Structure 1
Amino acid sequence: MRRSFRFLLRPTARQAAVLAACLEDHRTLYNAALEHRRTAYARAGVSVRYGEQSAELKHIRADDPEGQTRWSFSSQQATLRRLDKAFRAFFKRVREGRTPGFPRFKGRGRFDTVEWPKDGDGCRWNSQPEHPTATYVRLQGIGHIRVHQHRPVRGQVKTISVKREGSRWFVVLSCDDVPAEPLPATGVATGIDMGVAALHAKVRRQRLDGAHKAALALVRAYDVIVHEDLRIANMTRSASGTIEAPGRNVAAKSGLNRSILDAGWGVFLTILSYKAESAGRKLIAVNPAGTSRTCARCGHCAKENHVTQADFTCTACGHTAHADVNAAINILRAGLALRQAAQAA
Structure 2
Amino acid sequence: MSRYRMQPTPAQERALLEHCGHARFVWNLAVEQHACWRPGRGSAPGFAEQCRQLTQARAEFAWLRAGSVTVQQQALKDFAHAMGHFFAGTHRRPTWRKAGRQEGFRVVAVKPGDVRRVSRRVGQVKVPKVGWVRFRWSRPVRDTVKSFRVTRDRAGRWHVAFAIIPAPIPAPGTCGVVGVDRGAAVSAALSTGDLLHAPGLREGERARLERLLRRLARAKPGSRRRAWVKAAIARLKARGTDRRKDWIEKTSTGLACRFDVIGVEDLNIRGMTRSARGTVGAPGRNVGAKAGLNRGILPAGESRKSQAVFSCVVCKCRVNADVNAARNIRDTAAGHAVAARGGPPTGEPVNREPQRDLPLTG
TM-score normalized with structure 2 length: 0.65
Deviation at 1:252, TM superposition (A): 4.6
Deviation at 1:27, TM superposition (A): 2.8
Deviation at 1:141, TM superposition (A): 1.0
Distance in 2 between residues matched to 1:241 and 1:39, nearest whole Å: 27
Select which of 241, 256, 264 maps to 1:219. 256
Residue matched to 1:209? 246
Distance in 2 between residues matched to 1:8 and 1:53, nearest whole Å: 33
Residue matched to 1:10? 7
Residue matched to 2:127? 139
- Aligned residue for 2:163, secondary structure, equals strand
C-alpha change, 1:35 and 1:331, in structure 2 (3 Å) is closer
Deviation at 1:193, TM superposition (A): 0.8
C-alpha change, 1:68 and 1:190, in structure 2 (3 Å) is same
Distance in 1 between residues matched to 2:94 and 2:259, nearest whole Å: 44
Select which of 156, 179, 190 maps to 1:167. 156
Q: Which stretches in structure 2 are left out of the alignment for 5+ residues?
A: 188-197, 202-239, 344-362
Q: Are 2:167 and 1:179 aligned?
A: yes
Deviation at 1:60, TM superposition (A): 2.7
Q: Greater relative contact order (Cα 8 A, min sep 6): structure 1 or 2? A: 2
Residue matched to 1:119? 110
Does structure 2 retain, via aligned residues, the 8 Å contact 1:186–1:222? yes
Residue matched to 1:318? 316
Residue matched to 2:204? none
Residue matched to 1:58? 55
Deviation at 1:161, TM superposition (A): 0.6
- Aligned residue for 1:263, secondary structure, equals coil
Does structure 2 retain, via aligned residues, the 8 Å contact 1:70–1:141? no
Structure 1 residue identity aligned to 2:101: R
Distance in 2 between residues matched to 1:20 and 1:342, nearest whole Å: 50
Residue matched to 2:353? none
Residue matched to 2:68? 72
Deviation at 1:221, TM superposition (A): 2.6
Residue matched to 1:272? none
Q: Map residues 230-309 of structure 1 onto 2, 5 A cutoff.
A: 230-238=267-275, 252-264=289-301, 309=307
Distance in 2 between residues matched to 1:210 and 1:135, nearest whole Å: 26
Distance in 2 between residues matched to 1:192 and 1:344, nearest whole Å: 24
Does structure 1 retain, via aligned residues, the 8 Å contact 2:33–2:44? no
Q: Deviations over 1:263-282 (max 9, x none)?
A: 1359xxxxxxxxxxxxxxxx
Structure 1 residue identity aligned to 2:5: L
Distance in 1 between residues matched to 2:320 and 2:31, nearest whole Å: 52
Does structure 2 retain, via aligned residues, the 8 Å contact 1:155–1:175? no
C-alpha change, 1:222 and 1:56, in structure 2 (3 Å) is same
Does structure 1 retain, via aligned residues, the 8 Å contact 2:118–2:124? no
Residue matched to 1:343? 341
C-alpha change, 1:153 and 1:181, in structure 2 (3 Å) is farther
Deviates more, 1:15-24 or 1:137-146: 15-24
Residue matched to 1:276? none
Deviation at 1:146, TM superposition (A): 1.6
Q: Are 2:16 and 1:19 aligned?
A: yes
Deviation at 1:319, TM superposition (A): 1.2
C-alpha change, 1:31 and 1:324, in structure 2 (3 Å) is closer
- What is the aligned-residue RMSD (CA, Å)? 3.9
Does structure 2 retain, via aligned residues, the 8 Å contact 1:160–1:174? yes
C-alpha change, 1:189 and 1:51, in structure 2 (3 Å) is same
Does structure 2 retain, via aligned residues, the 8 Å contact 1:54–1:80? yes
Deviation at 1:164, TM superposition (A): 0.1
C-alpha change, 1:261 and 1:40, in structure 2 (3 Å) is closer
Distance in 1 between residues matched to 2:88 and 2:274, nearest whole Å: 19
Deviation at 1:338, TM superposition (A): 2.2
- Aligned residue for 1:110, secondary structure, equals coil
